Structure 1
């Protein structure tokens, strides 16, 4: 029960890493708003968690919907201790000059602007909360990627967006530390999620073997791997940790 009495919002919580984080947080005592652009997916994950979770359709690139997400969380649970900015998107592997403007704009909106919109909403709220353990008022966890640390060819604009997430995490952490707000990130290697096929280009045994050859531990990441790391970073056990962009990558970035 490491997150007992905590309230969390998890964007992109209807599948993949987000769904794993939701389930772990609920198992550890948190109440969670499962936010996803796919309402049915959000509702399904929430239903599997019982009364501790509530599914909500949210387009994280829309300022009004992000504000409504925060207001809904406060209405139902009273406050928000943890925000997990997990929603993300990629483009298919291809030369950087071949990525269309529409795809580029979508990556900027989902991977970058959505974090700006959510921080703009959550930070004033957290600043107004009473401090808890060790003076902490809240935690924001951003989902970055090993692509933002050790970029792969042919994913240039996705790589760049995740590098931005790491820099934004550290910048926000420094600014918000005096207010008792911690900001951290996770850098997962590609995992068994709906985005895997997009990263590979084509999901074949040959492509999987090629990709796995770059991961020293020899496997893809799983939702449980990210959920366990997220639980620690968002718990009071990590109250002295901020600005960290933790690699959960089987050694790929070494």
Structure 2
């Protein structure tokens, strides 16, 4: 069921600050985080779990951590291939907007990420539109959905081998249903479970989740069967474990230059020979 990463390098962060301090403290939950320094990323094989074009939700937590213009828009994650990105999410270089890419389309949603705080983002593909929620509020509805393009890699902390992220990315959750906004808000600072008081009402629709703090998962889990308990059991465990010793992804290696097109506005981070 699990797909092991091809190559990856992640480092855990155990101390989290966020703009919703009271909410987070009440919930006593912080998403497991991976820290990226602009050199490494989590690179995985494609998975059917990511084929949610037109009907699904991807949520994550993100914190920008650069003091000056990196010269490109750092990528939070992307599902890319030889013809472009099926979807890609970026922070613009000023950390004042979220960029959403799908095939030839690229639009930005204004939001101030420059406070170096942790923010919850939920992006839903609904028919021919894409909605963007940040910190529990609807920010925009875009007039395009995820692109129906072939994909060769799913990356967190980069767009393929381009646009490396600088900062922290929290637990990524991929759903093959559009999650109700109220549910997204309710579980944005709350641990999920299959049963009991923390049971998520849409838990059967969870088809992918990051598990950065659990070295046995390789950093990410794709569900072959939504009822498989492994996907839930693994994502909320291992917070106190040391970062696993993964192999680094060299984002300047020329190997994928012909198969991974650069992200919008990204020239400084393109592979060099």
When the two structures are superposed, what TM-score results if normalisation uses the length of structure 1? 0.31
Could you say which structure has the higher helix fraction?
A: 1
Could you say which structure has the higher strand fraction?
A: 2
When the two structures are superposed, what TM-score results if normalisation uses the length of structure 2? 0.30
Q: Which has the higher contact order (CA 8 A, sep 6+)?
A: 2
